[in-house]
Amino acid sequence: MATPTPTRPRRRGHDPESVLATAVGVFNERGYDGTSMEDLARALGVTKSAIYYHVPGKEQLLSRALDRALDGLFEMVADERACSGAAIERLEWVVRQSVRLLIDRLPYVTLLLRVRGNSGTEQAALARRREFDRFISGLVTEAAVEGSIRADVDPGLVTRLLFGSVNSITEWYQPARGASADDLADALLKMTFGGLRVDPAA
C-alpha cells in the first residue's frame, strides 16, 4: 500500500459531502428555489464555478439530500420492529424512530418536507414519501382494528394529524438548545397517545 492513510487529506478544500451539507443548510434557510448558486458559493467561501468541480449541479444537490432523508425512512419501515408484534407497539416504535431520524438528519428531512413537486427530482421524492405515508396509515388502521387506539376518528386523519405533530419538529427544533431526541419522543408520545387533558372523565 503506497498511501499511508486510506483517505489522504492531501490538500485543504471541499468535497462533495461538505458541499452537500452546506447546500442543504442554505436551501433550508432560503428555500431551494430561493437559493442561487452564488448564495451557495458565498456560504462555501469559494466562487460559483468551484461548486461544479465537486457536484454536477444544483438539482443533483437536491436529489442527494432528499435521498438521504428518504433512505432513512425506508430503512426504518424495513426493520423487524416495524413489521411484527402488536400494531400499537409497532406504531409507537415507528413514531419514536421517526422523531429520532428527524433530529438525526434534521436538515435533510426538513428539505424533504418542503418539496412541492416542481421538477422530476421533486416528484420522485414525493412519490417515495407517499409510499412511506401509506405504510404509517396501514399501521394506524391495524391499531384501530386491534382496538388499541380510538376508532371514532378516521385512521387516515389520525395519521395526518399525528405526523403533523411529528413533522412540525423540523420547523422549530434547535439542536443546540433543544431537548434530546428521546426526551422529545417521550413528550410527543405522552401528548399524542395520552392526550392533553388532565381529567379524561370530563
Q: Can you give the binding site for DNA, defined by CB under 7 A?
A: 2, 10-15, 35-39, 46-50, 52-54, 56-59
- Residue 80 binds what, of a copy of itself, DNA, none (CB under 5 to 8 Å, by partner type)? none
Residue 175: name its binding partner from a copy of itself, DNA, none (Cβ under 5 to 8 Å by kind): none
Determine if 60 is a binding residue for a copy of itself (CB under 8 A): no
Amino acid present at 178 = G
Judged by beta carbon, residue 82 or residue 162, the one nearer a copy of itself is 162
Nearest to 19 by CA among 45, 36, 9: 45
CB of 113 to a copy of itself, least distance (A): 9
Burial of 46 (0-12, 13-18, 19+ CB in 10 A): middle
Does residue 152 contact residue 82 with C-beta atoms inside 8 Å?
A: no
- Cell 386491534 belongs to residue: 146
Write out the three cell numbers for 22: 452546506
167 binds a copy of itself (CB under 8 A): yes
Residue 193, binding choice from DNA, a copy of itself, none, Cβ under 5 to 8 Å by partner class: a copy of itself
